[in-house]
Amino acid sequence: MSKTALNTQNAMVAAGLALAGAVTMGVLLASLSAPPHFRARVAALKQQADEASRLLRPARMDGAAGVGSVCARAGEQPEALRKDLADYASQLGLQLSGVDIVTEPDVGAHEALTPLQLRFEATGGYDGALGLLDLLSRRQPDVFVETVDLTSNVSSVTIAFSGHVYCSGLL
């Protein structure tokens, strides 16, 4: 064999080995970049992170009012609340009566929060009464419940509600 043929053969062997090494390295890197069950493990980690984030969020009543919990102006709130109650009762087929919204009498002029006392009665279907409580629970500013009495009549229920809405007293 001539020297040129030997050099060509060595170059071909070297090129074959280089190609085999590159293919082997590519397969190795591909297997390392996406291990088995990778997507399932990432989804489980994301779910755990979301749950940890939810658990680490401060509780709603941890001493600080959340966004939307407190109204800005106590003077405007009674009429807005009275209108919302009338709208809710109308939507749910309830007869609303005895709506009473007053500022607590023992609040000083420079208090941080002004509590508005809310009392009302509504009569109608059971589902309507529960729907009213649901709508009040989602309303902003928040309505804080003190007592709810649900009395069954023959074909309807009467709900007697007492609670508070808090407004900023410093504005």
pLDDT in tens, 147-169: 999 898 888 899 999 988 887 76
Average confidence score pLDDT of the chain: 78
User: Side-chain half-sphere of 153: how many Cα atoms within 13 Å?
Assistant: 11
Calpha distance 65→155 (Å, rounded): 40
Percent of the chain with pLDDT over 70: 73
Q: Please say if the pLDDT value at position 66 is more than 70.
A: no
Here the tokens at position 78 are 């009674």
Task: Determine the pLDDT at residue 69.
Answer: 67
Q: Please say if the pLDDT value at position 78 is more than 90.
A: no
- Average pLDDT, stretch 78-85? 87
Amino acid symbol at 69? S
pLDDT in tens, 94-107: 999 989 988 776 65
pLDDT in tens, 19-45: 788 878 777 776 666 667 777 887 887
Asked if 133 and 148 touch (Cβ cutoff 8 Å), the reply is yes
CATH code for 77-168?
A: 3.30.70.60
Q: Please say if the pLDDT value at position 61 is more than 90.
A: no
Q: Please say if the pLDDT value at position 54 is more than 50.
A: yes
